[in-house]
Amino acid sequence: MFYLEDAAGNLTDDPFSTYRGYRIKLLIAIEKNGVIRNKNEIFLNTRYRHLHDAYFDIEMDIKNRLRDQSYFRTNRIGFNLVHYSECATLNTFMAYRIMPLKKNSTTTENANEK
């Protein structure tokens, strides 16, 4: 069970008391010669009604990337996965974030809902 804190500081298990839903933000960073050179943020189109659905999709995406692609877990703080280039001088780091959508937000009215 996930609990959220509402604006008054009360704990609630109803995600729609404060938030309308959730979206996943994917942070992609390129490291060249040991220094992060470029960062991009991508918001995935799917809107989740429940927090645990977003966590589940993140878990599944990480498992798929570890199994099917050349991604590995990273020990770099703030990132979940790393993809090493062949020469190991240009690496791609990925991080997943769950972003709540406030009730008064109108930016994702037509986004897919899960």
- Residue 20: which domain range? 4-102
The total of structural domains in the chain comes to 1
For residue 81, tell me if it sits in a domain: yes
For residue 10, tell me if it sits in a domain: yes
For residue 113, tell me if it sits in a domain: no
| 29-43 tens-digit pLDDT | 999 988 899 999 999
* Tens digit of pLDDT at every position of the chain (114 positions): 344 445 455 555 555 556 678 899 999 999 998 889 999 999 999 999 888 899 999 999 999 999 999 899 999 888 999 998 877 678 999 999 988 887 764 544 444 555
Residue located via tokens 């979940």: 80
45 φ/ψ sector (left φ>0, alpha ψ -120 to 50, else beta) = alpha
